[in-house]
Amino acid sequence: MLKNPINRKDVEAVKALDGIYRKTLAYNDETMLCFFRLEKDAIIPLHYHKATQIGYLIKGKIKFILDNNEFIAQPGDSYVFDSNEKHGAEILEDSEVIEVFSPAREEYK
């Protein structure tokens, strides 16, 4: 059982991909909060998942790629990927992101 509050400094980072590190923070069955540290030049391949994903870029610069669109996120930008929407990313600068997933992703627990 997780305790409240959960501070990101107390959570060990998990390497998700080369240059992509995740800290799963607070969650329940319906919603999950994660912190990501992304290194410049890392690639997140196109993928999709059941959970809706809402993010906020704290620092850095990321090019997000969708099936038929792309956009560059900069500090202060937020974004949403709907359930089963294909998306990926190119990390243009060392970046930090907070993301919320709903429902919670079992593989991130």
Domains assigned to the chain? 23-108 (2.60.120.10)
Helix, strand, or coil (residue 11): coil
pLDDT attached to residue 1: 47
Distance CA 20, CA 1 (A): 26
- Looking at residue 108, the DSSP 8-state letter turns out to be G
Lookup: tokens for 109? 């627990």
Neighbours of 3 (CB within 10 A): 7
CB-CB contact of 104 with 36 (8 Å): no
Is the pLDDT at 3 greater than 80? The verdict is: no
Which pLDDT tens digit goes with each residue over 7-50?
Answer: 999 999 999 999 999 999 999 989 999 999 999 999 999 999 99
Name the phi and psi angles at 108, rounded to 5: -95, -5
**Average pLDDT in the 4-9 region?**
92
pTM (2 decimals)?
0.93
- pLDDT, residue 4, reads 85
Q: How far apart are CA 61 and CA 42, in angstroms?
A: 12
**Section 53-75 average pLDDT:** 97
CA-to-CA dists, residue 16 to 24, 42, 108, angstroms: 11, 11, 10
